[in-house]
Amino acid sequence: MTGQLRAPRSVLVVATLTVAFLALPVLALLQRAPWSGLVDLLRRREVVDALGVSLLVSMVAAGIVLVLGTPLAWVLARVDVPFRRLVRALVILPMVLPPVVGGTALLFALGRRGLVGQWLERWFDLTLPFTTAGAVVAATFVALPFFVITVEGALRTSGDDLEQVASTLGADPLTVLRRITLPRLLPAMGAGLALAWARALGEFGATITFAGNLPGRTRTLPLATFQALESDPEAAVALSLVLLVVSLAVLLPTRHRWLPTQ
Amino acid sequence: MSPALLLDGTTTVGDLDLRVTLEVMPGELVAVVGPNGAGKTTLLRLLAGLVRLDAGHLDLGDRTVDDGTDRGFVPAHLRRMGWVPQDRLLFDHLTVAANVGFSPRATTDRVASLLTALHLEDLADRRPPECSGGQAQRVAVARALAADPDLLLLDEPSTALDLASRHRIHALLADRDRRPTTLLVTHDSSEVADLADRVVEMTAGRITGTPPL
C-alpha cells in the first residue's frame, strides 16, 4: 500500500483558496436566503410559472437529446465516418460557444427569415423563435454535446469485443445493439442525460436570444432569476436556491462518474 | 465428401501478413499451434467473419463466405459459428443461463443439456463476475456450442483452468457426436494429444508444418 503524498504547504494554500473561491458564492447565496419567507416566495405565480416552463423545456430537451444523441454517439464511436474529427468538433462546439452566439446562430438558422426557418414557416406554418418550442430547441442545442461526449466516451472505453462475440453467435446488428450495447451503456446514458438535463435547466443566453423572455412561455428559472435580481432580490435568491438544489440533486447520483471516491 | 472449411487467402492486420491455405473435413478437430504473434487468433477471427480477406476465398461447406470483395463477404452473424475467445468475453449484464442461451439458434433443450454437461446448472442464475475462472470458461464454451455452430473456434480454452473444468471441457470436445468441426488454438501439447485429429503449425502468418500427434 502506498502512502499519501505530503503536499507542499504552498500548494495546499492555493488549493484551499481555490475551494473557498468556488464555495463562497454558494455560501453567500445561503446567507442571503430569505429562509422565513421562502415558502411564500416559491408559491408566487411568476416563480411557479418559471419552474413549470423550466421543467417542461428541460425535460422535453432531455428527451430529444436522448433520441438524437444516442445514435450520434454510437456512430462517432463505432463507424468509420468521413471527416469524423470535423463532425466531432461540430458536436462539441455548443459546449465552448458563448450561449448568446448559439442563440444568434439559431435565430439565423431557424428564425422566421432564417436559412431553414423561412421554409419551416412556409411549408409547415411552424414558427420557433419566441415560443416554448424555441426554448426547447435552444436548450437541446446547448445540452446535446454533454450527452454525446459522455456516451461516446463510454462506448470507446468499453470497446466492441462483446458486440463481436454476440455477432458470431448469430445476433444481427439490431439485436446486438438492443441486447448488448444499450444495456451496458445505461449508466453512461444516465450520467450523460443528467448532465444534459442540468445544462438545459440552467440555459440562459441561447434561450433569451432565440426564444425571448415571455412569462409562462419562455421565461425559465434562470431568466426569471435574472429578471428578479433588478426588482426583487429576495425572489432572485429563492429562485437561485431552487436551481442550486436541483443541480446538486443531479450531481450527487452521478458522483461515481464525476466525483471519484478516492 | 466436400470439406467443412476451405481457406486459401491473404489478409493484413497491423504488422501481420496472413497467408494461409487450410482444409478441414467435417467432424475434424484440428489443433493450431505456434508461437505468440504467429497469427493463430487472427486466423480464427478471419474464419468468424471479424477480419476480412484481402484476396483469395474462404468456403464454409458449400458456401463461399469471403472472396476479398464487399459483395462476397458474409458477416459474422450469418456464418453459423461458435467462437470461444481467449479472454472469454462473457456478457456480464446477463445471467449464466442467458449467456449460454444468447444465440437466436440456442434452443431451451440444448441450453439445459449444455448447462448439465458442463456442470453449470447451479450457476444458471449467477452473473459471470460471480463465477470463478474455470466456471466462466465453461460458460464461454457452452455459449458457443449452444449456438449450434457448423464450425467451433476455440482460442486457448484450457489456459489457466483447474483440472476439473479442463476435464469437463475436454470430455465434451472429445465426444464427436456433440461437437462440430473444430479449430483449436492451443499451446498445450497434452491438449493436442488428447483431442486433436490433426495439427497444423503456424509461424509468422503462414502454416509452416503439420507436426505429428
Q: Is the residue at B128 inside a domain?
A: no
Cβ count within 10 A of residue B6? 17
- Spell out which residues of chain A touch residue B82, defining contact as CB-CB under 8 Å: 168-169
pLDDT higher than threshold 70 for residue B154: yes
User: Which residues of A sit within 8 Å Cβ distance of B?
Assistant: 161-162, 164-173, 175-176, 179-180, 183-184
Residue A234: pLDDT band with limits 50, 70, 90? confident
pLDDT at position A256 is 55
Residues 6+ away with beta carbon under 8 Å from A89: none
Q: Above pLDDT 90, what percent of chain A?
A: 66
| Mean pLDDT, rounded, for B133-161 | 92
| Mean pLDDT, rounded, for A148-159 | 93
| Mean pLDDT, rounded, for B37-48 | 95
User: Model confidence over A170-180: pLDDT tens digits?
Assistant: 999 999 999 99
The answer to whether the beta carbons of residues B53 and B68 sit under 8 Å apart is yes
Biggest alpha carbon distance in chain A? 69
Say if B186 is an interface residue toward chain A (CB within 8 Å): no
A105 or B88, greater pLDDT:
A105
pLDDT at position B79 is 94
CATH of the domain at B10: 3.40.50.300
pLDDT higher than threshold 80 for residue B212: no
Q: Which residue has the cell 491438449?
A: B191
CB contact under 8 A, A164 and B50: yes
Q: Is the residue at B140 inside a domain?
A: no
In this structure, what DSSP letter does residue B122 have? G
Of B92, B93, B104, the CB nearest to A171: B104
Question: What's the rounded Cα separation, in Å, for the pair B91 and B101?
Answer: 11
Say if B98 is an interface residue toward chain A (CB within 8 Å): no
Compute the nearest-CA separation of B76 from chain A (Å): 5
- Report the Cα–Cα distance between both ends of chain A, in Å, rounded: 14
Question: What's the rounded Cα separation, in Å, for the pair B17 and B13?
Answer: 7
Question: What's the rounded Cα separation, in Å, for the pair A194 and A189?
Answer: 8
- Can you list the domains of chain A with their CATH numbers? 43-258 (1.10.3720.10)
Q: Is the residue at B139 inside a domain?
A: no
pLDDT at position A255 is 57
Q: Is the residue at B179 inside a domain?
A: yes
Residue A1: pLDDT band with limits 50, 70, 90? very low
Q: Is the residue at B58 inside a domain?
A: yes
Single pTM value for the model: 0.81
pLDDT higher than threshold 50 for residue B71: yes
Question: What's the rounded Cα separation, in Å, for the pair B149 and A168?
Answer: 10
The answer to whether the beta carbons of residues B49 and B75 sit under 8 Å apart is yes
Of B48, B81, B93, the CB nearest to A184: B93
Q: Is the residue at B133 inside a domain?
A: no
E-only strand ranges, B138-211: 151-155, 181-185, 198-203, 206-209
Residue B138: pLDDT band with limits 50, 70, 90? very high
CB contact under 8 A, B85 and A169: no
Q: Which domain holds residue B47?
A: 5-89+147-209
pLDDT higher than threshold 80 for residue B1: no
pLDDT at position A262 is 44
The residue count for chain A: 262
CB contact under 8 A, B49 and A168: yes
pLDDT higher than threshold 60 for residue A259: no
pLDDT at position B115 is 95
Compute the nearest-CA separation of B149 from chain A (Å): 8
CB contact under 8 A, B77 and A165: no
Q: Is the residue at B126 inside a domain?
A: no
Handedness of CA A215, A216, A219, A221 (dihedral sign): positive
Question: In chain B, how many domains are there?
Answer: 1
Compute the nearest-CA separation of B83 from chain A (Å): 7
| Mean pLDDT, rounded, for A23-32 | 91
| Mean pLDDT, rounded, for A27-33 | 89
Mean pLDDT for all residues in chain A: 90
The answer to whether the beta carbons of residues B190 and B84 sit under 8 Å apart is no
Question: What's the rounded Cα separation, in Å, for the pair A163 and B87?
Answer: 14
Instruction: Name the grid cell of A3.
Output: 502512502
Sheet containing strand B5-13, edge to edge, reads B63-66, B55-60, B5-13, B16-24, B206-209, B198-203, B29-33, B181-185, B151-155, B81-84
Residue A208: pLDDT band with limits 50, 70, 90? very high
Of A162, A172, A173, the CB nearest to B91: A162
pLDDT at position A3 is 55
Q: Is the residue at B69 inside a domain?
A: yes
User: Model confidence over A124-142: pLDDT tens digits?
Assistant: 989 999 999 999 999 999 9
Task: Estimate the crossing angle of helix A45-78 against helix A233-251, to 10 degrees.
Answer: 30
| Mean pLDDT, rounded, for A217-240 | 90
The answer to whether the beta carbons of residues B57 and B20 sit under 8 Å apart is no
- Spell out which residues of chain A touch residue B147, defining contact as CB-CB under 8 Å: 168-170
Task: Estimate the crossing angle of helix A117-124 against helix A99-110, to 10 degrees.
Answer: 40
